[in-house]
Amino acid sequence: MGRTERLARACGGHPWRTILAWVGAIVLAVAAAAVFLPGNLTSTGHVTGNPESKQAEDLVFGHFPPDPNAADELVVVRSPTHTVDDPRFKEFVTSLYNQAAPTGVVAHARSYLDSPGPLVSADRHTALIEIQRRKDVDDLLPVIERNDGREGFRVTITGSGTLDHDFNDLSQHDLKSGEL
């Protein structure tokens, strides 16, 4: 009789002891993770050591540093009935500005109201608002959600700060719908 067969017979002869042993092992594993890995169980990953990919990234950012004045987030405002020249469209965009300011998220914002340029679609029913953030987008997202669909306007946001929210929302949707 081999080792695994003896173990299987022992487990089969004492099922409650086996279950308790497994529960104890799981409790010990969770306790060990909590004690030895605090703060390291995040969705933010980074490489250890200095592999070639890290060296290449350092070279790229060293020679082509990111623009500190670049937009982090893009807010898209669309109306099927109003164009950007209509007073209602301008009032809606101004209202978004006014609601976003108290959140403390927006360091700088730029839209077609501030400067001419490629911030308006060819059919003039869509405008882009560029946002440079000073902190995480969490406080700004309710403003966007609250205004999406208001007065017939569609408002969406995308960018580096909303990327995690987009994936988390997608995962939550998939979990609820059973597709994941």
CATH number of 73-170: 3.30.70.1440
pLDDT at residue 174 in the model: 46
Per-residue pLDDT of the chain (180 residues; tens, 9 = 90+): 889 999 888 889 999 999 999 999 999 999 998 888 776 666 666 677 888 988 888 888 888 877 777 888 999 999 999 999 999 999 999 999 999 999 999 988 889 888 777 889 999 999 999 999 888 888 999 999 999 999 999 999 998 888 766 665 544 444 454 544
Spatial distance between the Cα atoms of 42 and 165, rounded to a whole number of angstroms = 14
DSSP, collapsed to helix, strand or coil, labels residue 124 as coil
pLDDT at residue 27 in the model: 96
Predicted model pTM: 0.60
In the numeric block, the tokens 């998220």 are attached to: 105
Q: Is residue 180 a contact partner of residue 174, using CB atoms and an 8 Å limit?
A: yes
Partners of residue 106 on adjacent β-strands:
133
Q: Of 119, 105, 9, which is closest to residue 97 (Cα–Cα)?
A: 105
pLDDT at residue 50 in the model: 86
Q: Is residue 57 a contact partner of residue 64, using CB atoms and an 8 Å limit?
A: no
pLDDT at residue 180 in the model: 45
Spatial distance between the Cα atoms of 32 and 15, rounded to a whole number of angstroms = 26
pLDDT at residue 145 in the model: 93
